[in-house]
Amino acid sequence: MAEPAFPTVDTAGPRMTLVLGSGSPRRLELLAQLGVVPGDIRPPDIDEDPMPGELPRPYCVRLAREKAQAIPSADTEIVLSADTTVALGRRILGKPRDAGEAAEFLTKLSGRRHRVITAVAVRRGDRIWERDVVTQVQMKNLSNEELNAYLASGDWQGKAGGYGIQGFAGAFIPWINGSFTSVVGLPLAETANLLLAAGYPLYKPAD
């Protein structure tokens, strides 16, 4: 099936710069794989609590959009925001508050398949281009030794579901079906299409 076509904007005029609406170093590293260096980094300050009864995918999409909308920008700036959510059935596993909650999340994920959802929102002025990617992930059965070693590493901090596939926990993930970069925090193929649609000069040499 062909990828959906995004309506693009006229790229004539001043060169657009990118504002990364995220404090995630992983997203900054992923953008670097596209050759993109943001002109500025402006993490948004929004309420990330789920609404009552909100399901993981709509929750993730809403947060990415609200983050993009919350960041002030100039006419020559394109804002990119994203949100990554781990879903176990209908349950949202966000960033654990402490090691105890990280242990709870990892124990629930141990030996089970779950979904990792990353939603991306790109805003230029009042227009927003959006995409979300769902990847199926299998976690191995974790031994107490593996769990305790991971908790002691501190790598769970600031990561949805209490783990990061690109680090220590990569050894716990024998199988995924979908986008690896989405599980890390930013689906590169989809993000590139969104940036192009918004008029960002992704594949053009700098002036």
- Residues with active-site annotation: 83
* Contact of 124 with 16, CB cutoff 8 Å: yes
Beta-strand pair 127-138/113-124: antiparallel
The DSSP result for 29-92, as a single string, is HHHHHTT---SEE-------PPPTT--HHHHHHHHHHHHHHHS---TTEEEEEEEEEEEETTEE
What is the sign of the dihedral through the CA atoms of 192, 44, 9 and 59? positive
What is the sign of the dihedral through the CA atoms of 4, 51, 41 and 179? negative
The residue with tokens 């980094």 is 41
Residues 6+ apart with CB under 8 A from 7: 197
Q: Of 193, 201, 188, 190, which is closest to residue 10 (Cα–Cα)?
A: 201
* Contact of 121 with 53, CB cutoff 8 Å: no
- The whole-angstrom separation of Cα 12 and Cα 23 is 30
